[in-house]
Amino acid sequence: MRNELILVLDFGGQYKELIAGMVRKLSVYSEIHPGDLSVEEIRKMNPIGIILTGGPNSVYLPNSSKCDPAIFDLDIPVLGICYGMQMMCGMLGGEVRQSSTGEYGRIAVTVSDNPQSQLFADTGIDKQFFALMSHRDAVTRLPNDFLQTAFTNNCIAACENSAKKLYGIQFHPETKHTEYGSGIFHNFLYEICGAKGDYKLDDYIGTQVEKLRKQVGKDRVLLALSGGVDSSVCASLLSKALPEQLTCIFVDHGFMRQNEGDQIESVFSKRKLNFIRVNAQERFLNKLKHVSEPEAKRKLIGEEFIRVFEEESAKLGDIPFLAQGTIYPDIVESGGKHGAAIKSHHNVGGLPTNLRFTGVIEPLSGLFKDEVRVLGRKLGLPVSLVNRQPFPGPGLAIRIMGEVTLEKLDIIRKADAILREELDRMKKRPSQYFTVLTDTYSVGVKGDERTYSPVIAVRAVTTDDFMTCDYAALPHKILSRVSSRITSEIPQICRVVYDITSKPPATVEWE
C-alpha cells in the first residue's frame, strides 16, 4: 500500500531536507522534488499536501524560480515557507519588495487574534513566540482574499486563504530555533491536510530492499566502507538486501584519526561480508602535494577514492555496481538545481565523470543523519557504532588548513586524541567535537625560547540535525585542560583557540 505523500518542492532553500525530515518524524511520508515540477506530474503523485521551500533568490526578479501556477487551483493544501510564501503571494497578485530592514536570527512573532489560523491553533502555541527568520525581502501587500495571521515588528509573518487551502509563513518552523515548529507542522499535516500518519522507518527498509534487489539482480556490489555511521548502515542494509553479493573495501587514505584504521578493520573483518583493507596513505599524500584549496582537496580525494575502487574491483572480477553511504545533507551542501553549492562531498561533488561502474547505488540518499541512526539500530548495529560522531570522508585532510603533510597529520591526530579523551569524560557531550590545524602561525615561549608555530582551533557543537548547530558552551575548566595538554604534549603547538561560531553563518567543518 502506498503511503500518503507530502510533496516538498525545492527552490534552493538550504533547509529543504529539514522540512522533509520534520514531516517524516510526524509519521507522514515526504519527497523532495524540483520546484518547477509540472501540475500534471503532481496530479500523478497525488499528494495530500504541498510545501514550497525557501530559496536564495528574489521573487520579483525576471529569472527567479517559480512553481507551476496551476498548483494553487488543485484544491490541495499548500504551505509556503519564506521564499515559498513570497512566491505564492507574488504569483497570486500580492506585492513583494526588499525591506529597508532585514530579519535574521530568532525574531519575536505575534499570532493575530482574528482570525486565528489552523496553523497556530490547539498546540499550546503562545500568542508570541520566537522563530528563525532569514530574509530581506518581504510581502508588503497580500493577494485578494488572503488574511494576515501572524506578524513581527517589520513584516507579515504568516498569511492564508483558508477557502483555497493556501498558507504562508515567513519564518522557518523546520529548524530547532523556532518555537512550536513541530506543532505548526502537525497542524498543517493533520488538521489541514487530513493526514493519517501511515509512514514508519520500517517501511523505508522494506522499500529499499525490494528496490535494491530489482536494480542489482544477481550482480555484485562494491561498497566504500569508511567505518562511519553512514557507510556502516549502508553496508548493513545492503547485506540484508543482497547477501553474498557485497564486497566492502576500506580505503585507508592515511587521514583517519588515531588508531581508527585498525579499529575499523577489527570490527568489520569479523562480520559476514567480504572485507578488504587498502593502505594508500602515500598515494593520497602524493595526490595532494602542493594543494591547499579545500574544494580541490575534496575533489582530488574523491576521484582517487573512485580510482582505488575501480582497481580493486578489477582484481575481484566484474563488479558493476558502486555503493555509497551518501545522505541528504551531502547532496544539499553540494548544491542542487536551484541551490548554491556550499562545499563538495567526496561521494557527491567529487565523483569523476568517467566512472567504470555500470551504476551508483545510494540507498541512504533520502535520509537525514538522525534517520540513518534509527535505521542502523533497526538493522541490529551496535549503539556504539550507530551513535559515532560524524567524520568527513576526506578525513583529517580537511581539518588541516593548507597543504597536507605527514608532520601535520601527526600533530592533528595527537591534538584530536587529546580533545576526544577529555570530552569523552563528560556526562553530556556535544554532538560533535574535533580540532583543526590552522595555517595561522603565532609567537610563543617554550623553555625560555621563542617559538613560531601553527595555532590549533578546537570546535565543538550541539545540534539535532547537523544542518544548523550552536557552538557548545564548554566549561572553562575543560577548555583549560585541553589547551594545557595540547601545548604540553605536542612540541610544535604553543597556542589553542576555541571556535564559538554557530551554523549559520559558519559550517560545522572549517573546510
Q: Which domains does the chain have, with CATH numbers?
A: 5-192 (3.40.50.880), 201-386 (3.40.50.620), 399-498 (3.30.300.10)
β-partners of residue 253 are none
% of residues, the chain, pLDDT over 90: 58
- 215-254: per-residue pLDDT in tens? 999 999 988 888 788 988 999 899 899 988 999 988 899 9
Whether the per-residue pLDDT at 75 is higher than 60: the answer is yes
| pLDDT in the model for residue 421 | 94
Q: Residue 346 catalytic?
A: no
- 329-361: per-residue pLDDT in tens? 676 555 444 444 434 444 543 444 555 678 889
Average pLDDT, stretch 274-298? 93
What SS3 class is residue 14? coil
Grid coordinates given for 206: 522494506
- 319-329: per-residue pLDDT in tens? 889 898 888 76
Distance CA 485, CA 489 (A): 6
Grid coordinates given for 386: 550507530
> What are the φ/ψ torsions at residue 184 (nearest 5 degrees)?
-65, -45
Whether the per-residue pLDDT at 148 is higher than 70: the answer is yes
Q: Which residue among the candidates 82, 89, 193, 469 is catalytic per the annotation?
A: 82
| pLDDT in the model for residue 346 | 44
Whether the per-residue pLDDT at 266 is higher than 60: the answer is yes
What is the reported pTM?
0.67
- 18-63: per-residue pLDDT in tens? 899 899 999 999 988 999 999 999 999 999 999 999 998 899 998 8
CB 11 within 8 A of CB 84: yes
- In the DSSP assignment, the letter for residue 12 is S
Strands 49-52 and 5-10, bridge-based pairing: parallel
CB 5 within 8 A of CB 24: no
CA distances from 150 to 14, 128, 169, 191, 462 (A): 24, 9, 8, 18, 30
Residue type present at position 103: E
Distance of CA 471 to the CA centre of its chain: 17
Q: Which residue among the candidates 4, 103, 160, 174 is catalytic per the annotation?
A: 174
Which helix (DSSP H) or strand (DSSP E) does residue 170 occupy? none
What SS3 class is residue 323? strand
Distance of CA 466 to the CA centre of its chain: 6
Distance CA 402, CA 441 (A): 12
Grid coordinates given for 131: 522563530
Q: Which residue among the candidates 89, 103, 172, 179 is catalytic per the annotation?
A: 172
% of residues, the chain, pLDDT over 70: 93
Length of the chain: 511
Average pLDDT, stretch 362-384? 86
CB 321 within 8 A of CB 313: no
Q: Residue 494 catalytic?
A: no
Q: Residue 469 catalytic?
A: no
